[in-house]
Structure 1
């Protein structure tokens, strides 16, 4: 019989208690030989979890879900979703479990959630398991996103299970323990709406308001205010993705959170050569989730949330649609404001710079980056040197030097602030070739490349001697990059 964690690990079951229709009680599959691969010590401490205890056999059993505190009720969450535009009425956690909620050191409620913990009734024919590589990808990329200041789920630990997982070959299995403000998704609301139970939909919306957007409760129309808040959060989030060149890869409605946090790092990657048509996911054959499409897809997903919320927005459906459409129209201007503010910062320009000056300058730069397939992360960091008078690092990235020089002259005339640029333009991102190197090595038991990469991306704005390879683009022989979901 498994040993229960100490009583200091307190997991609430509020989601399961308040929304039992969306919570299927379930247990994690056994992990024959759990072994810790990665532990996020600062995150554990912030959650009030003892990192040393998490390394013990009892702690590892918590991290793979085979031993949970008394009173905890692990559940697989139910949700629906549009996947690549096609609606699936019953998705849910096919290989994941919500162990429960805990309160961190700042008094915030956080979900403790597992991925790769075994088949549930939502598995739809899958094995419910996960391999070491994809779970470490989520660990690396989510922690890099956190360090970049982008709202995200966090990775607490990756634990090898001792069970092989069959994909193209046999791979070592693993469970990811992750932390989020919640795992409420657009798909959660789609599922509740599809049941036809308006009171369930209302309880879900009230739960989301209480958890994420409490100000909506006092609004004249609280459920429209909830939608407004999600629109604003997602506009800000996707703008931040675009500014760092992050490509999510699978922006299905079940992968869009109500909180505005990035979730589900499957076939994700970061841009190298700037190209709005970039697609990394092996299953995105039509380019639906290409880098440049991400704002449009986010808006489309939010329209699906609006549809789900219509019965709560107004009893008169036509009036509800009118109000929802008006609210959704907020997305594009909100996104534009967030992106423009971020791009002004990246260029070292004042926030109050007139749009008539800024917009053509930014548009011309993006066209130059795309025409010459310039590595965008390297360029924006090198631009700080150009602001200090040395333009050569930036010029070396281009073929069309005449056009670049003309752009640099107009930009310099605006007196950009170099130090401010260095605070928002990262030196280190999870370079795709380095991610693959780290995952391949870890799959074979060598964790040194993983630790080196994590060290670099944990402080992305601080240039450090000896880490030059983490700032360099992929070598020419790396070839075209493709990513996979890992299921």
Structure 2
């Protein structure tokens, strides 16, 4: 049984300056950890064939499937505010593109598949821990309904990689609508190559914004589309307490998908200043800073597109500024609408932002768990608990439960002004407030079991729980619990 990939590699048809042609480096003894069978089927691939020894060799980069055109993509990027003119895929190789059963075109990329011309003296490999982290978190984000790259497979290589200590090596097969980043545009703009910027914009439009190509001002329409997607994406992140951790311009995809799960994490206790990333010493990418950073990154994209927006620089800058001004309005509307849904409001009223901010302030002061507070509010708003007697599980999350009581009285008064019945409200709240997220201590426990004991049972169980984040799952109720003090993970690390 041979795994068949129906490749149609549009990016590899762009000029050679856009990438380097490079083959994956064969590994010693690839073994399958996990295949995402549902995703494989969606992509038009045969999961049984991918599970054979030959299929696993494809997923590990030991063999190259027919029709693939392996390339490492070139890009630049601002990393923590400092511009690096050449980065590129240093440990990832794009095998090619497939059009799935749903008609969507998606990249198939191997991460950890060996060095490329962009490796900057790195070994191009990935350790097992970061591969498992990306698999778990990206699939959890997909189940939460947040646009994201996906994990098709994880394999071990039978080799060690040397970081601070020797670690088992692994390869992740990543699926994305594309791997075109803001940094991809910066790579060519920094070289003054306007023709390449135009070719890249045309390619990205054809792939992500086909309607923009027919607009009166296509490049403006493309820029506005990227801005809108990013505003919506960051709002969705924040509504589930997600912190990307490394929002460099090379980690922001123009497709509007979450990409590059390095030192990412989900908040436990609510604190707008939360930072987990070990390399973010100044808190540049803290939870509350994410909207401003997204706008900053999008400004860098607009700068790249200036020559395409208008013939005169002054006119081009005016167009870019007008487009960028829409980010704040779009983000604020999406975030506020999401927060209204999280506390069970169906109608918009002028004082809602104050009510919501008051809750967040009290959560911060009371060290209340972000995910559980909103999940338990759904139950407190349900039928049969139309009063303070239904608040016990929520107020228990606050160091001073009385601080919640003051807010809850206002909240119930606000709910009483709407026409929805309690059962409808509770069900609507449960659809937007997950019970389960990939809590950091759970992810770390999965990694330790796999790395230290070659035990993948915790990995499989966590994936199963996170595949249905809005369901109660009584048998796995403990997975909803915040960490005990000795379980808290305060720092997360890049996977390089």
Structure 1 equivalent of residue 368 of structure 2 = 374
Deviation at 1:74, TM superposition (A): 0.3
Measured in 2, the distance between the counterparts of 1:58 and 1:479 equals 41
Partners of 2:28 and 2:315 lie apart in 1 by 57
Residue 458 (structure 1) aligns with:
467
Structure 2 residue matching 1:330: 3-state secondary structure: helix
The correspondence for 2:33, drawn from 31, 37, 50, is 37
Deviation at 1:55, TM superposition (A): 1.2
Instruction: Provide the residue aligned with 1:267 in structure 2.
Output: 263
**When the two structures are superposed, what TM-score results if normalisation uses the length of structure 1?**
0.97
Give 1:76-475 correspondences, 5 Å limit: 76-350=72-346, 352-354=347-349, 356-388=350-382, 389=385, 390-415=390-415, 417-443=425-451, 444-475=453-484
What are the Cα deviations for residues 112-150 of structure 1, in whole angstroms up to 9, with x where unaligned? 011111111101121111011100100000000000000
Does the aligned pair in 2 maintain the 1:10–1:69 contact within 8 Å?
A: no
- Aligned to 1:467, what secondary structure does the other structure show? helix
- Distance of aligned partners of 1:71 and 1:418 in 2 relative to their CA distance in 1, 3 Å threshold: closer
* C-alpha RMSD of matched pairs (Å): 1.2
- Matches of 2:380 and 2:9 in 1, distance apart? 54
Q: How many residues align?
A: 481
Which runs of 5 or more residues in structure 2 are unaligned? 416-421
Structure 2 CA distance for aligned equivalents of residues 189 and 284 of structure 1: 24
Give secondary structure in 2 for the equivalent of 1:36. Answer: strand
For 1:389-438, what per-residue CA distance to the aligned partner results, in whole angstroms no more than 9, with x for missing partners?
21100010113333311211111123371111011100010011110001
1:477 aligns with 2:486: yes
How many Å separate the matches in 2 of 1:125 and 1:399? 50
Distance of 2:217 and 2:397 partners within structure 1? 52
The alpha-carbon distance between structure 1 residues 480 and 432, as it changes in their structure 2 partners (threshold 3 A), is closer
Report if aligned partners of 2:91, 2:115 keep a CA contact under 8 Å in 1. Answer: yes
* Preserved contact between residue 147 and residue 458 of structure 1 (Cα < 8 Å): yes
- d(CA) in 1 for partners of 2:393 and 2:403? 16
Counterparts of 1:78 and 1:49 in 2: how far apart (Å)?
28
SS of 1:469's equivalent in the other structure is: helix
Q: State the distance in 2 between where 1:13 and 1:106 align.
A: 18
- Cα distance in 2, alignment partners of residues 7 and 398 from structure 1: 53
Distance, in Å, in 1 between the alignment partners of 2:50 and 2:68 is: 17
Secondary structure class of the residue paired with 1:413: helix
What is the alpha-carbon distance in structure 2 between the residues aligned to residue 479 and residue 56 of structure 1?
A: 39
* Deviation, structure 1 residue 7: 7.4
How far 1:480 moved relative to its partner? 4.7
Deviations 1:255-290 (A, max 9, x none): 000000000000001000111111111111111111
Distance in 1 between the 2:374 and 2:158 partners? 43
- Contact in 2 for aligned 1:193/1:308 (Cα 8 Å): yes
Do the aligned residues in 2 keep the contact of 1:96 with 1:117 (CA within 8 Å)? yes
8 Å CA contact 1:11, 1:69 repeated in 2 = no
The answer on whether the counterparts of 1:35 and 1:60 sit within 8 Å (CA) in structure 2 is yes
CA distance in 1, matches of 2:298, 2:284: 16
Partner secondary structure for residue 87 of structure 2: coil
The aligned counterpart of 2:419 is none
Following the alignment from structure 1 to structure 2, what is the Cα–Cα distance between the partners of residues 244 and 184?
Answer: 25
Mapped contact 2:92–2:111 kept (Cα < 8 A): yes
Distance 1:367 1:344 in 2: 16
Q: Give the alignment's TM-score, normalised by structure 2.
A: 0.95
